[in-house]
Amino acid sequence: MPNRLRLRGEEGRAYWSMVLPAFSIYLLVMAFPIVLSIVLSVSNYDGGKMFGGDPWGFAGFKAYARVFSDPLFWNALKNNAYIVLMSVFGQLPLGFIFAYIIYRKLVKWPGFWQGVLYVPNIISVIVVGLLWQTIFSPNGPIAEVMNSIARAGFQSRLEAILAGVGSLDISDDHVRKILDLAGPAALEWFTDPVPELKELIQSYSGAPMQELLNDLCNLFVQRWSPEFLSKSNVAMLPILFVLLWMYTGMYLILFLANMQKIDAQIIEAARIDGASEWQVMRCIILPSLSGTIVNSAILAISGSLSSFSLIFAMTGGGPSRVTEILSIYMYNNAFLGRPNLPLANAISLIMVVISFFLIVLTKLAEKRYGGKED
């Protein structure tokens, strides 16, 4: 009996000697910050010295009340909802479809396409953000292409008006047609448009016609500026597109890796029995990946709510904060201007609750409608 007690005591000491270091690190890195965040969210702490500074104490749920009454919070929550929906109903379905196409070798060079689709996910988030910020900027390639199209169209119609005019001796009717083509831009340059524009055109007598066309295009064609990232009605579209482009490859790899664990003989038997590709995907592949789909959805939801770097690199929150999400909203309150740590911690805990709620819904949906992995 004493030997058994001594042996049990040695096993207990050995157990705790292995568990205690990891448990202590967990308490320090995870549990303590969570508890501290909860405490700060209901305190009146003003960001000074935590110990030895001005006294701080319980302030109730003022920070939460302020969050829910702030229009910026609801705007950030709406933007996060867009990202969650795009991630769950955009990245996951596309990742699955691409993975299925590659797995079933429905395209040539499947390894090549697998690499191409996954490459955006391994590029630095900051690099991706700055790259797409340039592409969508008013001076980026999209704006340049649109301006080139507008300029070419204006110049072709201008040539049609000036066709057959000798020595630039044009009539007032020709001038009025040019002014109609120029639109409101003409009023920016002329007090009395018809005679002043006529005089300007006639001053090019003897000069090449192309020089006149270029100068009139520069004068009248208004530069098209997309301003994608500052217009409230479209500001999130570029961000959603970039997130879709960047992270679809990650889910492709997850789905493809799990598809490769499915017994190929089952699929071949189904094909021999006359099953179509759609039936193979719906009746064999999807049920086999139900757990992977749920785990991917949880990953997409948690990542969508905590996404920060890409959006901050592309917009910095946007000049009018139209692209602000909850993590950037929390950052602005925690680090910009005078820190409001109770408010920032309240936001972070609200994010945790929302994430937990969505994950529970996902698990319930999987339990109700999902299949079972073999």
One domain for residues 145 and 283: no
Same domain, 152 and 114: no
CA distance 294 to 249: 17
> Looking at the domain assignment, is residue 152 inside a domain?
yes
pLDDT tens, position by position, 39-87 = 888 888 876 666 666 677 788 888 999 999 999 999 999 999 999 999 9
Domain closes at, from 175, 192, 220: 220
- CA-to-CA separations, 248 to 88, 97, 262, in angstroms, rounded: 10, 10, 22
pLDDT in tens, 244-258: 999 999 999 999 999
27 DSSP assignment: I
Range of the structural domain that residue 99 is part of: 70-137+232-369
> How many CA atoms lie less than 13 Å away from 37 in the CB half-sphere?
17
Asked if residue 214 and residue 195 are part of one domain, the reply reads yes
The reply to whether 78 falls in a domain is yes
Residue 49 within a domain? no
| Residue at which a domain ends, from 167, 194, 220 | 220
Task: Say if residue 245 is in the same domain as residue 321.
Answer: yes
Q: Does residue 6 sit in the same domain as residue 150?
A: no
Q: Does residue 210 sit in the same domain as residue 291?
A: no
The DSSP symbol for 138 reads T
The span from the CA of 20 to the CA of 25, in Å, is 8
Q: Specify whether 292 is located in the same domain as 148.
A: no
Of the residues 195, 220, 245, the one at which a domain ends = 220
Number of domains in the chain: 3
- Whether 327 and 343 have beta carbons less than 8 Å apart is answered as no
The two tokens of residue 24 are: 């202590």
CA atoms of 217 and 167, how far apart (whole Å): 20
CATH classification at residue 291: 1.10.3720.10
What is d(CA 285, CA 11) in angstroms, rounded to the nearest whole number?
A: 46
Q: 3-state class of 215 per DSSP?
A: helix
Q: What is the pLDDT of residue 80?
A: 92
- Of 287, 344, 296, 271, the C-alpha closest to 87 is 296
What tens-digit pLDDT sequence spans the chain (374 residues)? 566 666 676 777 777 788 888 888 888 888 888 888 888 888 888 766 666 666 777 888 889 999 999 999 999 999 999 999 999 999 999 999 999 999 888 888 888 888 899 999 888 888 988 888 888 877 778 878 877 888 888 888 887 777 766 556 677 777 788 778 777 777 677 777 778 777 777 777 767 777 878 887 877 776 666 666 666 677 788 889 999 999 999 999 999 999 888 888 888 888 888 888 888 888 888 888 888 888 898 888 888 887 888 888 887 655 557 888 898 899 888 887 778 888 999 999 999 899 889 888 888 877 776 555 54
The predicted structure's pLDDT at residue 50:
66
pLDDT at position 224, please? Answer: 65
Q: What pTM, to 2 d.p., does this model score?
A: 0.76
Q: Does some domain include residue 328?
A: yes
Asked if residue 285 belongs to a domain, the reply is: yes
Residue 370's pLDDT is what? 59
**255 lies in the same domain as 129:** yes
Angle separating helix axes 172-182 and 193-202, nearest 10 degrees: 100
Using DSSP's 3-state secondary structure scheme, residue 269 falls into: helix
pLDDT of residue 319: 53
Whether residues 262 and 360 share a domain: the answer is: yes
**Assigned domain for 30 exists:** yes
Q: Is residue 16 part of a domain?
A: yes
Q: Are residues 153 and 284 in the same domain?
A: no
260 and 180 in one domain?
A: no
pLDDT score, position 374: 45
44 lies in a domain?
no
